[in-house]
Amino acid sequence: MSGGQEKLKILIRRAAIQKRVHEVAVQITKDFKGQRIHLIGVLKGACIFLSDLVREISLETSIDFMAVSSYGKGKQSSGQVRLLKDLDSSIQGLNVILVEDILDTGLTLSYLLRVLQQRKPKVLRVAALLDKPSRRLKEVKGDYVGFTIPNEFVVGYGLDYGERFRNLKDVCVLSLPPE
């Protein structure tokens, strides 16, 4: 695809993201005071959010990753979730926080919550940088949400369009020319 008429418009600036990530981390630190937590990042989109978040949390923390595919290469959800990479270790009895880049239709999250709940964590919570509640097909909600955003396709700070734009420092709305 040519990059000709793609337009990027900043939606959430780097400084605002940093500030909000710190606030979310402070909340998590309070909620789990004196306990250990286990963060599970959903690859690849959540990797940058998780990297920033974990460094702001003042608790004993371990991390693991899962990879799922729900979108294929473009903007459209296939509605099907495939597990591409499973966890390295058991989560039984742990305080688990699943870290997502964005809650959109909720299909990915509801699948992941079902899979993880079966493994008997002590607590299972959800942290998501972004939430697009207007697109929900499955009723799910984040316990820690960075920003609620309108129904726009966004990229940057880990989020991609066909694997591109993950490295942008700001979260940007991507508009494409009509097909």
- Write down the least CB distance from residue 99 to ligand IMP, Å: 10
- Write down the least CB distance from residue 176 to Mg ion, Å: 15
Q: Is 104 a catalytic residue?
A: yes
In whole angstroms, how large is the CA radius of gyration of the chain?
Answer: 16
Distant-in-sequence, close-in-space partners of 107: CB < 8 Å, separation ≥ 6: 70, 77, 79, 81, 137, 138
Residues in contact with ligand IMP by CB under 6 A are 45, 70-71, 77, 100-109, 153-155, 159
Q: Phi, psi (5° rounding) for residue 164?
A: -100, 160
Which one of ligand IMP, Mg ion, none interacts with residue 108, CB within 5 to 8 A by kind?
ligand IMP
Strand pairing category for 123-131 and 95-103 = parallel
- What gap in Å lies between CA 18 and CA 27, rounded to an integer? 14
* Cβ nearer to ligand IMP, comparing 10 with 59: 10
Site track 151-170 with Mg ion (rule: CB under 5 A), x = hit: ---------x----------
